[in-house]
């Protein structure tokens, strides 16, 4: 699966040097570098280059850039014309990005600016440098390599570059995952960045591109439990027994993600043990009807947890609506476990998350617990603006069939658990 790294920052801040350092550290991974400058719209024929703002968002064709990212992400080879800085047109030799690329680095001054492009980035790095240093580098580069005069560079900087830096480029910092000060000279920051990228590339599947996804390790116990409750001929009492065991493991996995407070206790020997206290502000919301089957497993692990309920229905088409809700008071002030045993398309979960957000629940305080999820559902949720909601699943299956069931899956979960389909 393609991993896309976005590198933004002021012109001449050292972005290209940082990118070169990243590429040299990737080893055997197939890597490609794409410059946002390749998507300049080109200088209009009736406009003087000195009077054109190359640092404005209007100078870039962001949709064309997003199309390339989508094609490569889908396994297709993309061909991109490069930009001629002297002719000010996209007329250079084509850059070929193979569909087999593992890591694609998109570098440019406004890499994070456009929402569609930003949504394709799995890691956002902002390279910053002192404005005076950037200006000196820009002067040297444009005079020696782009055929411009010192006077024209200074006029352009004062008229266009500095205002765009303040209005468009620097505000991207708040969107960055990592900020590298002093560019390539910041060896420590780059080393940490490279190690983080290496860790992400060692991950497999969806966890590489969706950091909020946590799939439980496929231990012998987890695989055995799935084998037991996935069987089509499993008696209902066995199905319930093994599902309940898996739910308890899911809840325990989620508890590790909650904040803990330091707590000292006195042991029977008269000594003090310095430990942790469980988070006290915890609640849960079960998504009916399947989520109610997870409540017993939750209560066997967490004492005195407040549980609310919500029901989602479809009224023709793919749209989902809240039919019923009953939330505990003060839910927005708590960490909330959302209980939904199977994630098929993600539409139901997206509806529930939107409703919880409406009442003030913070996405970072929401943890979704599911036995099984499809890749489509995970992508739908993470790309719908819920990248801070943590998803804890015990298995990720192949996909969804025409009947709306996850495959290989477990069938209609609520019917099997409650016996309503027997």
Span 266-291, average pLDDT:
91
What confidence tier does 238 reach under pLDDT thresholds 50, 70, 90? very high
Long-range contacts, 397-402 (Cβ 8 Å, 24+): 397/372, 397/373, 398/374, 399/374, 399/375, 400/344, 400/345, 400/374, 400/376
What confidence tier does 280 reach under pLDDT thresholds 50, 70, 90? low
Dist CA 398 CA 400 (whole Å): 7
Average pLDDT, the chain: 90
Choice among 180-184, 231-235, 268-272 with the minimum mean pLDDT? 180-184
Dist CA 200 CA 19 (whole Å): 17
pLDDT at position 279 is 67
Span 384-397, average pLDDT:
92
Tokens of 94: 């084509």
In the chain, the percentage of residues whose pLDDT exceeds 70 is: 97
- Bridge partners (DSSP) of residue 309 are 286, 326
DSSP secondary structure code for residue 262 in this structure: E
Span 134-163, average pLDDT:
84
Confidence check: pLDDT of 181 > 80:
yes
Confidence check: pLDDT of 339 > 80:
yes
Confidence check: pLDDT of 318 > 80:
no
Strands 320-326 and 306-314: antiparallel
Inter-CA distances, 346 with 49, 202, 350, 369, Å: 49, 27, 6, 13
Cis peptide before 289 (omega within 30 of 0): yes
What confidence tier does 422 reach under pLDDT thresholds 50, 70, 90? very low
Q: Which domains does the chain have, with CATH numbers?
A: 3-202 (3.40.50.300), 213-418 (3.40.50.2020)
Confidence check: pLDDT of 362 > 80:
yes
DSSP characters over 18-78: HHHHHHHH-TTS-EEEEEGGGGB----TTS-GGGS-TTSGGGB-HHHHHHHHHHHHTT--E
pLDDT at position 147 is 76
pLDDT tens, position by position, 2-26? 889 999 999 888 898 899 888 888 7
Q: Whole-model pTM?
A: 0.69
Q: In this structure, are residues 264 and 311 in contact, taking their beta carbons and an 8 Å threshold?
A: no
Span 341-351, average pLDDT:
94
Nearest C-alpha neighbor of 117 from the set 53, 171, 180, 68: 68
Nearest C-alpha neighbor of 109 from the set 161, 47, 43, 73: 161
Confidence check: pLDDT of 419 > 70:
yes
pLDDT at position 420 is 78
Choice among 132-141, 203-212, 276-285 with the minimum mean pLDDT? 203-212
Confidence check: pLDDT of 125 > 70:
yes
Choice among 323-337, 346-360, 382-396 with the minimum mean pLDDT? 382-396
pLDDT tens, position by position, 31-80? 899 999 999 998 888 888 778 888 899 999 999 999 999 999 889 999 99
In the chain, the percentage of residues whose pLDDT exceeds 90 is: 58
pLDDT at position 143 is 84
- Bridge partners (DSSP) of residue 337 are 284, 367
Tell which wins on pLDDT, 317 or 297.
Answer: 297
Tell which wins on pLDDT, 91 or 10.
Answer: 10
């Amino acid at each position: 699966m393609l991993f896309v790294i976005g590198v933004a920052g002021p012109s001449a801040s050292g972005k290209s040097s940082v990118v070169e350092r990243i590429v040299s550290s990737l080893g055997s991974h197939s890597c490609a570098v794409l410059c946002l400058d390749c998507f300049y719209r080109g200088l209009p024929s009736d406009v003087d280059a000195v009077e054109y703002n190359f640092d404005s968002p209007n100078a870039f064709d962001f949709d064309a850039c997003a199309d390339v990212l989508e094609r490569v992400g889908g396994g297709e080879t993309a061909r991109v014309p490069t930009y001629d800085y002297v002719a000010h047109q996209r007329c250079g030799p084509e850059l070929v990005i193979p569909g087999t690329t593992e890591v694609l680095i998109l570098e440019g001054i406004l890499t994070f600016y456009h929402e569609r492009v930003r949504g394709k980035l799995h890691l956002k790095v902002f390279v910053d440098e002192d404005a005076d240093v950037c200006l000196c580098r820009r002067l040297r580069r444009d005079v020696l390599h782009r055929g411009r005069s010192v006077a024209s560079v200074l006029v352009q900087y004062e008229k266009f570059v500095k205002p765009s830096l303040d209005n468009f480029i620097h505000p991207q910092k708040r969107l960055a995952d990592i900020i590298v000060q002093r560019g390539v000279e910041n060896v420590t920051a780059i080393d940490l960045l490279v190690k983080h990228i290496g860790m992400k590339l060692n991950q497999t599947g969806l966890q590489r591109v969706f950091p909020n996804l946590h799939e439980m390790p496929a231990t012998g116990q987890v695989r055995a439990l799935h084998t037991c409750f996935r069987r089509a001929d499993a008696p209902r009492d066995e199905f319930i027994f093994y599902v309940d065991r898996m739910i308890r493991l899911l809840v325990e996995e989620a508890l590790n993600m909650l904040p803990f407070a330091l707590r000292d206790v006195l042991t029977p020997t008269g000594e003090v043990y310095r430990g942790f206290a469980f988070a006290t502000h915890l609640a849960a919301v079960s998504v009916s009807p399947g989520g109610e089957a997870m409540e017993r497993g939750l209560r066997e692990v967490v004492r005195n947890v407040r549980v609310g309920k919500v029901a989602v229905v479809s009224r023709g088409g793919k749209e989902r609506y809240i039919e019923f809700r009953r939330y505990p008071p003060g839910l927005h002030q708590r960490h909330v476990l959302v209980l939904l045993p199977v994630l098929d398309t993600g539409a139901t979960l997206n509806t529930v998350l939107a409703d919880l957000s409406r009442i003030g629940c913070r996405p970072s305080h929401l943890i979704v617990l599911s036995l099984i999820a499809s890749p489509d559902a995970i992508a739908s949720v993470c790309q719908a603006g819920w990248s801070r909601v943590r998803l804890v699943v015990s298995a990720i299956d192949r996909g969804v069939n025409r009947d709306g069931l996850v495959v290989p899956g477990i069938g209609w979960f609520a019917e099997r658990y409650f016996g309503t389909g027997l």
